[in-house]
Amino acid sequence: MNGVFHCRRLNRYKQLTYPPYLLALSLLFWGWQSKTAAAAGLMLLLVGPASRSPWRWPLAASQFHRIGDLTSVLFLGGVAYFISAGGDTPPVYALLRWLPLFFAPLLLAQLYSTSLLPLSALFYSLRRSRSEIPRPSLDFRLPYAFFCALAAGSGGSGDAGYFLGITGLCGWTLLQNQPRRQGKAVWLLWFSLAVGLGYGGQLGLKSLQSALEAWAVDWLSGSDTDPFKARTAIGEVGQLKLSGKIIMRISSEQRLNATLLLKEAAYDHYDGENWLAYPAPFEPYQAPGSDQGTVQLRVLRIPEQRSALLPIPPGLQSLELPAHSVLQRNRLGTLKLRDVPPVLRYRMGYDPAIQDHTPPPPPATQLPKATRALLAPLVRQLELEHKTAPDVAASIAQLFARDYAYSLYLGDKRGGSGAMADFLYRRKAGHCEYFAGATALLLRAAGIPSRYVVGYTAQEYSPASNTYLVRARHAHAWSEAYLNGAWQTLDNTPARWAEDEAQSDPWWQTTADLWSGWITAWQAWRWDKSQQPEDKSWPLWGYLLLPLSLWLGWRLYRSRQRVAQPAPTTENRENLPSVRDEDYAGLEQRLRQQGYSPRLAGETPLRWLARLGLKIYEPQVRAYYQRRYGTATPGENDA
């Protein structure tokens, strides 16, 4: 009896009334706003004749399920395609733009069938239910109109056309479903108020979003290096979680003789814990001329942000960047590229013999009092105050090479000064940030200008692709000292650090590298394809699609059935007589009185009995078939 009660509640449920021409208006709105006129026109040609066509296909629930599965495959395939394709449009907007095409099979299946769309075609959990309660269905035209309106918003035109179109579609739908007890004047007043508040609210949200983006563009840069502040990992607890993800691929006409340091950002102010670049605003910068330098590098990178810092080699002489990108530079030589394309390619030429002779600013020798006191024992031990600048640099290098080791374990100290003291006087082991920071601080304690530098190393050569692979774990830190009138690179981190970190690679790293290479090649190909003039010729896959479409159309044409009237909706289905045979009508009435669920729209009597598990009444149904159709098996669709 509980199942009968729920069944009656479902049957009493009243769906929203479908407004006339809403589907056509929604398709036109989608084609206009998202600039998909061809796709919208094709859908109109398929949808338009449905209401006047005398032909229908009696699709069973299992057939609707297959169409729902096809829609799921199309949607997931679209997700995978747009994520891997790249391009100027973010994947979520590209996916929304073509949402009506993904759900087109479900809409067309309902329009050209004899029944509404069962909800089990959309929700797999409903298919597994063995309850006798009839499975609910819905008129898919209203949800599809919503998908069209949602897809229309992916165009990003920014004008009031989208808001006016949405207002019209919503108003037309709500007007057709207006409660009878409410007058039209009151309804219109409330609707106008909602439209006004909605329009003002979206303008406010748009202004707020613009303000937040302008404020956060330089500070919230994801995983990129902060060009103004370097908060080192000194003092953090436990093992550093290093990633083998490939950041960029570098090609060179000749093999590099040594590890190449690619400088990404420099800092010359130390506050006791952090290295800062202040004041160091970015200003427009003209890239040096092309095809200069003894060594030429070609870089391929898939950036994660619309702005990126450019790791550059020492002695940079030439830099070729993508068109329409904006290059900026600060006083420390850090380069920032704005309006970065989804696939970033650039060319660099450098000469290692060229030095940077930029005079050091005052912050390059300053140290907090607490830091000077911390370094005093080492300064006295090495007698740095009585040595020349080159001898100071050599003494510091010998100290770290003789008495210190490389380690990824950072200990249990927190705070920059406490961790530095632990590194210098107790543990005497650490990663590159310890060595780079301590070197720069000791140089300053001896009166030598220095700065802290972060970037990457190019040292892992891949013969398979003839490129140098720069991974996330190749991020490195070192120091620069102003010696003999030029900035000199001092990297006192033990040379085997890269080998030690490579041991942390998981066993699947080779497979991950292959997958990364395929994805990068695919994104580069898609990006190059999008930059070329569109090919107007008929695609090659079209010649395969044409015969397949003709074959599918012929199969559908042969399985059609002629109907005298449109398929009944859930509102009037119970008001129609199920059959005209008195004996069979009595059978249906008795089964309903016993609590069995009624026959669904488009469900034949034999299938109804099979669903209820009442095959004992099959002879009576076949007798009814014989009386009505002249045969006990009128067709395979009734079997």
- For the residues 517-535, what does the mean pLDDT come to? 77
With bands split at pLDDT 50, 70 and 90, how would you rate the model's confidence at 446? very high
Percent of the chain with pLDDT over 90: 16
Assigned token pair, 40: 């919208």
Residues 6+ apart with CB under 8 A from 495: none
Residues 6+ apart with CB under 8 A from 571: 14, 15
Q: Are the C-beta atoms of 148 and 29 separated by less than 8 Å?
A: yes
pLDDT: which is higher, 198 or 564: 198
With bands split at pLDDT 50, 70 and 90, how would you rate the model's confidence at 183? confident
With bands split at pLDDT 50, 70 and 90, how would you rate the model's confidence at 416? low
Rounded to whole angstroms, the Cα distance separating 633 from 639 reads: 7
- For the residues 175-179, what does the mean pLDDT come to? 76
pLDDT of residue 545: 59
Q: Are the C-beta atoms of 581 and 589 separated by less than 8 Å?
A: no
Side chain identity at 309, as an amino acid letter?
L
Instruction: Check whether 10 has a pLDDT greater than 60.
Output: no
- For helices 141-152 and 104-111, the axis angle rounded to 10 degrees is 150
Select from 411, 415, 429, 404 the least CA-distant residue to 370. Answer: 415
Q: Where are the alpha helices (DSSP H) in 367-431?
A: 369-382, 389-403, 416-422
Select from 194, 159, 147 the least CA-distant residue to 40. Answer: 147
Assigned token pair, 541: 């896959």
Residue 310 DSSP label: -
Rounded to whole angstroms, the Cα distance separating 113 from 200 reads: 43
pTM for the model stands at 0.56
With bands split at pLDDT 50, 70 and 90, how would you rate the model's confidence at 480? very high
Instruction: Check whether 479 has a pLDDT greater than 90.
Output: yes
Instruction: Check whether 1 has a pLDDT greater than 50.
Output: no
pLDDT: which is higher, 340 or 550: 340
Q: 279: cis peptide before it, omega within 30°?
A: yes
Select from 123, 27, 106, 117 the least CA-distant residue to 71. Answer: 106
Which residues are registered as beta bridge partners of 478? 453
Average pLDDT, the chain: 78
- For the residues 315-336, what does the mean pLDDT come to? 88
The 10s digit of each residue's pLDDT in 530-578 is 776 655 555 555 555 567 667 666 666 665 555 444 444 444 434 433 4
With bands split at pLDDT 50, 70 and 90, how would you rate the model's confidence at 453? very high
Rounded to whole angstroms, the Cα distance separating 527 from 343 reads: 7
pLDDT of residue 393: 93
Order of all β-strands in the sheet with 450-458: 260-267, 450-458, 475-483, 486-490
Q: What are phi and psi of 410, to 5 degrees?
A: -100, 0
Q: Whose structure tokens read 């210098």?
A: 424
The 10s digit of each residue's pLDDT in 74-95 is 888 888 887 766 555 667 878 8
pLDDT: which is higher, 618 or 375: 375
The 10s digit of each residue's pLDDT in 49-69 is 887 777 778 888 888 888 888
- For the residues 359-385, what does the mean pLDDT come to? 89
Q: Where are the alpha helices (DSSP H) in 119-159?
A: 124-127, 141-152
Rounded to whole angstroms, the Cα distance separating 403 from 365 reads: 26
Residues 6+ apart with CB under 8 A from 598: 7, 11, 134, 574, 578, 588, 592
Assigned token pair, 580: 């005209």
Rounded to whole angstroms, the Cα distance separating 33 from 223 reads: 35
Contacts of 385-389 spanning 24+ positions with Cβ under 8 A? 385/446, 385/447, 387/446, 389/446, 389/448, 389/481, 389/483, 389/484
Residue 257 DSSP label: S
pLDDT of residue 86: 58
Instruction: Check whether 221 has a pLDDT greater than 50.
Output: no
Between β-strands 405-406 and 429-430, what pairing exists: parallel, antiparallel or unpaired? parallel
Q: Are the C-beta atoms of 470 and 516 separated by less than 8 Å?
A: no
With bands split at pLDDT 50, 70 and 90, how would you rate the model's confidence at 374? very high
Question: Is residue 378 classed as helix, strand or coil in its secondary structure?
Answer: helix
- For the residues 141-158, what does the mean pLDDT come to? 81
pLDDT of residue 569: 43
Distances (CA, A) of 264 to 357, 388, 457, 538, 625: 19, 30, 11, 47, 82
pLDDT of residue 3: 39
Residues 6+ apart with CB under 8 A from 240: 233, 408, 410, 431
Rounded to whole angstroms, the Cα distance separating 358 from 363 reads: 14
- For the residues 132-160, what does the mean pLDDT come to? 78
Q: What are phi and psi of 265, to 5 degrees?
A: -155, 150
Instruction: Check whether 227 has a pLDDT greater than 50.
Output: yes
Assigned token pair, 405: 């080791």
pLDDT of residue 543: 58
Rounded to whole angstroms, the Cα distance separating 226 from 196 reads: 42
Residue 363 DSSP label: G
* SS (HEC) of 450-467: EEEEEEEEECEEECCCCE
